Chains A and B, each alone.
Chain A
Amino acid sequence: NAGVMQNPRHLVRRRGQEARLRCSPMKGHSHVYWYRQLPEEGLKFMVYLQKENIIDESGMPKERFSAEFPKEGPSILRIQQVVRGDSAAYFCASSPPVEAQQYFGPGTRLTVT
């Protein structure tokens, strides 16, 4: 059973470009969570999604950030017009419907130059 997959593992973008981060949950998991880790910090919750639904986006910045989890395919975290402060590691986690434990992917390290 493959774990949570994220790609790309490393992403470099210039200021003003768009970043698209992908997450494929573990098999049988229908809940996806995105977290951001700034250097020397713990992870901060961003958004919780189920298939075709955003359940809680209270941790998402109000502008430039969006997330989706379509019926088919991976969950996508999209950052428009990136700025240097967006440089961080972005982790996706998944869980099955009736279990609280979240299993994390390897993360995407975004660098904005």
Chain B
Amino acid sequence: GEDVEQSLFLSVREGDSSVINCTYTDSSSTYLYWYKQEPGAGLQLLTYIFSNMDMKQDQRLTVLLNKKDKHLSLRIADTQTGDSAIYFCAGESGAGSYQLTFGKGTKLSVIP
């Protein structure tokens, strides 16, 4: 089955860029996802990337996918205090699988 690893903490200054990294084991995922969880809240689907793409940009968010190294990253440009949250990387447990496997989450702290 899929295994997803993330670093647990990241601290950046307001206005800087944040880069959150993720590695996964199952290269057959059709999509890979980034979710954001604010304290006491549910998961918000931030963005996702189709496995045959290597980059996707959506306003301040850039997702990079390196299939060879099984590495996924999320870059947040001009990080704001409202971006402080836990960010989860998730992959599918097999191509087209509905079972999402999540990393433990990266807690992003933005220093004003």
Residues of A that sit less than 8 Å from B by CB: 4, 6, 31, 33, 35, 40-45, 48, 56, 58-59, 91, 93, 95, 100-107
Contacts and interface: CB of A to CB of B under 8 A. Distances in A.
B30 A100 contact: yes
A48 B98 contact: yes
B104 A56 contact: no
Q: Is the interface of B mostly helix, strand, loop or mixed?
A: strand
Nearest to A43: B102
A42 B30 contact: no
Given A101-B45, A102-B98, A104-B35, 8 more contacts: A45-B100, A45-B101, A48-B99, A56-B99, A100-B98, A102-B45, A102-B100, A104-B43
Interface of B: 4, 30-31, 33, 35, 41-45, 48, 88, 90, 92-93, 96, 98-105
Contact of A43 (B30, B44, B98, B100): B100
Contacts of A43: 43, 88, 90, 100, 102
Contact of B102 (A42, A56, A59, A105): A42
Contacts, number: 60
B98 A33 contact: yes
Contacts of A59: 99
Nearest to A106: B42
A107 B38 CA distance: 12
Given A31-B98, A56-B98, A42 B42 contact: no
B96 A100 contact: yes
Contacts of B90: 42-43
A46 to B, nearest CB: 10
Cβ-closest 4 pairs across A and B = A42-B102, A106-B42, A104-B43, A45-B99
A6 B92 CA distance: 24
A100 B101 contact: no
- Scoring B43, B48, B103, B104 by chain A CB atoms within 10 A of each residue's CB, the highest score goes to B43
A40 B96 CA distance: 27
B45 A104 contact: yes
Nearest to A37: B102
Given A40-B104, A42-B104, A91 B43 contact: yes
